[in-house]
Amino acid sequence: MTSRVALGGAAVRTGANAKANAKARARPVRAAVSEPPAAPASEQVPAARGAARKKVVVLGSGWGAISFVKSLPASAPYDVVLVSPRNYFLYTPLLPGAATGAVEERSIVEPIRRPIAEKGWKYYEAACIDVDAGAKKITCRAADPECFDDKGRDCEWHTFDVDYDYLVTAVGAVPNTFGVPGVEENCMFFKEIVHASRFRREVNERFERATLPDVPESRMRELLTFVVIGAGPTGVELAAELYDMVYQDVAKMYPSRLIPFVSIKIIDLQEKILSAYDRRIAEYATDFFQRANIECLLNKQVGEVKPDAVVITDKITGEKSEVPFGLAVWCSGIRLNPLCEKIMDSLPEGTQENRRSLACDKNLRVNGSNGSIFAVGDCATIVRPRSMSKAMELYKSAAKCDDAGECEIDLDKDQIKAALNKGVEEFPHLEEVVNNIDDKFAVFAQANGRCTFDGFSKMLTEVDNGLRALPATAQVAKQEGEYLAAFFAQCDGDATKLMGDETKFEYNHKGSLAYIGKDAAVADIPGFTIVKGIAAGIIWKSFETISQVSVRNIFLVASDMIRTKLFGRDISRFID
């Protein structure tokens, strides 16, 4: 995989898009109060800047939004308004560290106003509650509690509309309980900085409670059992950081009699932790956890979360059991942000069939929005065209036909290769088959060394099915945000160019890293190697430090890491 922007030809769609674009330029007809009628002098844009500039509204303040905002030059002809109820960016990979005090909460956040102010753009601390794709307008609600109380204030400014020419949706996803009863009530989620603060506070509280006089041993054991549900990178890192905290710091400060009662457990449906990683990594990490005495409850389906126990069923034996806990954390997957449903409902029927995320084209334009809505990060899926849709056309292109229109009904290897090559431009994933044509042909051809249309179809179906959505990671969101900013900058505000298909987003996987405790990590660096243990731990610490979004955060995280090594973690508990 390369990082260059590939040039794809798709002139076919230009006609339709130009029309759509004309529609997109039409002003909304509903009377939206989107800006103060008379803006104070200090905020008026210079007249020269006005006319041709496009209004871009960005929703969200996570990885996708901040990388878009940071990468889009202030000189590009766009007036950007960012709307998010959360006024800071959170460096999510260090959230487990913040949850245990290894780094401070403040060190891994960055005020969203900083990059916005640098570029002279606007930010509203408000939640977007509705999108009218037809009128190109969003409705926002500010988090002004004064408007909900009984003081009788006049709160007309509480809910307001903002017009856009282009909407960039980067609202992420929300935790998914998969309908398991009791999760909302009895588990913590682990996605935001407040979850990290809460985790730190609640772990601390369990230890304080267990230290009190007269607490029976059974209660101590329950209080000090920490259960993480979901053994993906977040769950694994949280369990690992908790392990470090308990044995490096808590053990020094709390009575030693407590330690035998501590237990950390991680539950997953798969047979290894980190099951989405390379098999060697998953095995190493699972083994590492087991040796560290972090109990891995694998192949376990969670059926219910009770106030003090998780009910699990073994996937293989069908055996049901209960895991009592003092604190349970749900790190088990994500689902569509409800705002995206509203966007889907606002688009023409049939354009958004997949309800798991916003279906986009290769330039991150949301299908059905006529190029006026873009999406990046966890809320977006790039729908790649399935080659099966043109199977007959490709097959025919390589078949020899006689004058009467009669064609061969089976093709040899070279013909199949030619047919595939014909489709590579439109369906880049076919390149993989071309490169492995000997193996693939052997599978789908007949004994006579020729392949029928039926075999060819099966071959394409297999390849199409191998098309996977990009993972819901920070890395993908960041690259999409950067790409989109570059695309906007390159199009220079030109509506036709913004509808064009000259370029496309390509994901460049730079590797996966996960911290697994005791200064060790696992790293999968594509095209290079797999690194495990302390060496990977050093890579992890360096990477997490230099990957911070600002010099300020690099300074903070580095000083936190030094501090933790020197003085241990701060185990104070604030109750707000």
| DSSP 8-state symbol, 173 | E
The Cα 28–Cα 26 span in angstroms is 7
What is the DSSP-derived secondary structure letter of residue 165? Answer: S
Size of the site for a second copy (CB under 8 A): 73
Residue 148, interface with a second copy (CB under 8 A)?
no
Residues making up the chain, counted from first to last:
576
Pick 27 or 151: Cβ nearer a second copy: 151
Residue number with CB closer to a second copy (208 or 345): 208
Of the residues 2, 439, 448, 567, which one makes contact with a second copy according to CB under 8 A: 567
Q: How far is the CB of 351 from a second copy (least distance, A)?
A: 31
The string of DSSP codes covering 484-545 is: HHHHHHHHTT-HHHHT--S---------EEEEEETTEEEEEETTTEEEEEHHHHHHHHHHHH
Q: Name which position in 9, 15, 179, 213 contacts a second copy (CB under 8 A).
A: 213
81-91 residues labelled b (16+ CB within 10 A) or e (exposed):
bbbbebbbbbb
Contact by Cβ (8 Å): 117, 38: no
Q: Which positions from 374 through 433 interact with a second copy, judged by CB under 8 A?
A: none
By C-beta, is 113 or 390 nearer to a second copy? 113
Contact flag: residue 30 with a second copy (CB under 8 A): no
36 binds a second copy (CB under 8 A): yes
The residues in 485-524 that bind a second copy, with binding defined as CB under 8 A, are: none
Q: Choose between 227 and 391: whose C-beta lies nearer to a second copy.
A: 227
Q: How far is the CB of 212 from a second copy (least distance, A)?
A: 5
Q: What's the closest the beta carbon of residue 169 comes to a second copy, in angstroms?
A: 20
Examine residue 109 and tell whether it contacts a second copy (CB under 8 A).
yes
The tokens of 244 are what?
Answer: 């470090």
Instruction: Enumerate residues 6+ apart whose C-beta is below 8 A from 505.
Output: 362, 363, 364, 382, 479, 480, 483, 484
CB 213, min distance to a second copy, A: 5
Contacts 24+ apart (CB under 8 A), 6-15: 6/428, 6/503, 6/504, 6/506, 7/502, 7/503, 8/362, 8/425, 8/428, 8/501, 8/502, 8/503, 8/504, 9/425, 9/501, 10/426, 10/501, 11/501, 13/501, 14/499, 14/500, 14/501
Regarding 125 and contact with a second copy (CB under 8 A), the answer is yes
Q: Interface residues for a second copy in 237-256 (CB under 8 A)?
A: 252-256
Q: What are phi and psi of 450, to 5 degrees?
A: -125, 155
Identify which of residues 7 and 39 has a Cβ nearer to a second copy in the complex: 39
Pick one of 162, 302, 359, 531: the residue that binds a second copy (CB under 8 A): 162
Q: Which of 42, 75, 317, 448 lies at the binding interface for a second copy (CB under 8 A)? A: 42
Q: Is 3 in the site for a second copy (CB under 8 A)?
A: no
- Within 274-333, the residues that bind a second copy by CB under 8 A are 307-308
Binding status of residue 156 toward a second copy by CB under 8 A? yes
**Smallest distance from a second copy to CB 313, Å:** 24
Is 55 an interacting residue with respect to a second copy (CB under 8 A)?
no
Sole binder of a second copy in the list 18, 52, 194, 546 (CB under 8 A)? 194
Q: How far apart are CA 413 and CA 419, in angstroms?
A: 10
160 binds a second copy (CB under 8 A): yes
Instruction: Work out whether 70 is an interface residue with a second copy (CB under 8 A).
Output: no
